[in-house]
Amino acid sequence: MRLRALLDTDALGLKLLGGEDELDRTVRGVMTTDLRDPSRYLSGGELVLTGLAWRRGAADSEPFVRILAQAGVAAVAAGTAELGHVPDDLVVACARHRLPLFEVHESVAFATVTEHVVRQVSGERAGDLAAVVDRHRRMMTSGPAGGGPEVVLDLLGSDLDLRAWVLSPTGRPIAGPKAAGPSAGEPTLPAEVRARLAAEHLATARTGRRGPHRVTVGQTTYSLFPVRTGRRAPQGPPAGQSARDAQDVRDARETVLSEWLLAVEADAADWTEERLDLLHGVTQLIAVEQERRDAARTVRRRLAQEVLELVQTGAAPTEIGARLRVAAPVLLPGLGTAPHWQVVVARVDWAGEADGGPVAQALLEEILADPASAGPEQSDRIAVAHTGDEAVALVPLPAVAGEREGSGAGVLADALLESVREPLTAGLEDDGRVTLGVSAAVHSAEGLRGALEEARHARRVAAARPGRVCAAGHQELASHVLLLPFVPDDVRRAFTARLLDPLRDYDRRHRAELIPTLEAFLDCDGSWTRCASRLHLHVNTLRYRVGRIEQLTGRDLSRLEDKLDFFLALRMS
């Protein structure tokens, strides 16, 4: 389609801000991005939709537009929801690079523009099949009345005789044909088959090969189409570009554990290009639905982030309680009394990689929304924040009369991973790990700080176990670990400062490593030989360091009471 056709579509309400002489350019696709450098996802001819979140100042527009022009995109369409207008510096940069620029009014969703462009482009490619695609799109984008992805899959069955399912990364059913008779309402794809398909999809997606991927389970062959949202997984980088290869690996890690897949009960090996294009177009429609559901999580994520920041900065329980009262109606609509809360902490670790927090956040939302693990009542009612390498979930539990704190059923660590272990292990391959920790239930803001630390302690217990996917609950913590999170903050600070501050100050001045030496000495149960061997020191050097610790603190490390005090201080620091 031509750019000029976009201006002729009243429903889009696009306003041309520059590039009148370039409106005969051909649009071959559409991409939504707020990355500062989206070049690796561009192949040329796209209409680039952007909300301008990449822009921090006027100087950012020129490099952004230059990258798009060099990639050969057809035009830029900028939304006004973020800034209220399209900044002049972006208009000037687009004019300099002869790149047409459209303004998208804040009342027009990017999904509407995407749907229109994809419909036109796919219609030109697919010929007579365009009528089927058009029906899919019209019903998919008509909102709740259209039935969402279920209607799209029903049309695939009625018009093309294809049975298909939309699955989450862990095999949770999102949409698909339902069974009839006594099993009415149940997914027609058994849980073990869904887990196998998800595992195969995750393992193959990590290679960067373009779908569909063919999998045979028993006597049935399935073709798996990845559902790509705003960020696309790599499509096989050119040979010899090691930096690009490394970037593709990072991109795959960021997307493969969070994006849906379309499983079609058919062998796509002999399909025509038109039919393959049709199915890829359907995945774009499904991606719109996933993005819509992800957007609905924004409020819950913001609430979780606010609560987490308050807890971690030592805010007053009354302030934390106020935020919890705001969160409760959002997470459990219609709840009459204050709920209990559980905290679940997750971490995704990649070999040689850091900052797995966003990946862990998306994965924890997926795991906790799985009816097989957290119960149907928990689906899409979980608030998950992330900080650094970890994700933290606030799980609301309805209060039960007479229930003691920590005694509720709630989320169980083992049940969380029961149905997702196989696909996650495949998706992580040999360079990733997922570890989770689950706290006991608490009924007030005062207990939330302790619950967070308890969940973190439990996750460390899980991390010490072998395996790619591990979880641990509060029941598995040793008694001192269970008690420490609930020690008041002022008591913790005073206790640790009295014992450890003299050692920290000495280490800063002399680089003496007294704190690491103390930790190793206690871990070795006071054995001079084992501790010296672990630290690669002569025993006399170790004795000198321990003597210095005793001199600075006035304690005696041969006494059990003093050893215990140091042990607890290190655990609370």
Is the pLDDT score of 328 beyond 90?
no
Q: Radius of gyration over alpha carbons of the chain, in Å?
A: 28
% of residues, the chain, pLDDT over 90: 22
* CA quadruple 287, 293, 295, 300: dihedral sign: negative
Q: Which domains are present in the chain?
A: 3-108 (3.40.1390.20), 112-296 (3.30.450.30), 298-485 (3.30.70), 489-572 (1.10.10.2840)
Q: Is 378's pLDDT higher than 60?
A: no
Note the pTM of the prediction, 2 decimals.
Answer: 0.55
Choose between 380 and 418: higher pLDDT.
418
244 pLDDT above the threshold of 50: no
Task: Quickly count helices (H) and strands (E) in the chain.
Answer: 22, 15
Would the CA dihedral through 444, 448, 454, 458 be positive or negative? positive
Which of 69-83, 418-432, 549-563 shows the lowest per-residue confidence on average (mean pLDDT)?
418-432
Residue keyed to tokens 């049940």:
415
pLDDT of residue 402: 36
Which has more confidence, 135 or 215? 215
CA distances from 255 to 197, 295, 349 (A): 17, 16, 15
The stretch 460-474 carries a mean pLDDT of 82
Under 8 Å between Cβ of 234 and 248: yes
| CA quadruple 71, 75, 79, 83: dihedral sign | positive
Rounded distance between C-alpha atoms, residue 116 and residue 196, angstroms: 35
Question: Given pLDDT bands bounded at 50, 70 and 90, which one contains residue 135?
Answer: low
Distance of CA 98 to the CA centre of its chain: 37
| Residue 255: φ, ψ to 5° | -110, -30
Q: At 145, is the pLDDT very low, low, confident or very high (cuts 50, 70, 90)? A: very low
Q: Match 């989206």 to its residue by tokens.
A: 38
More confident residue, 53 or 490: 53
Q: Is a pLDDT exceeding 70 seen at residue 110?
A: yes
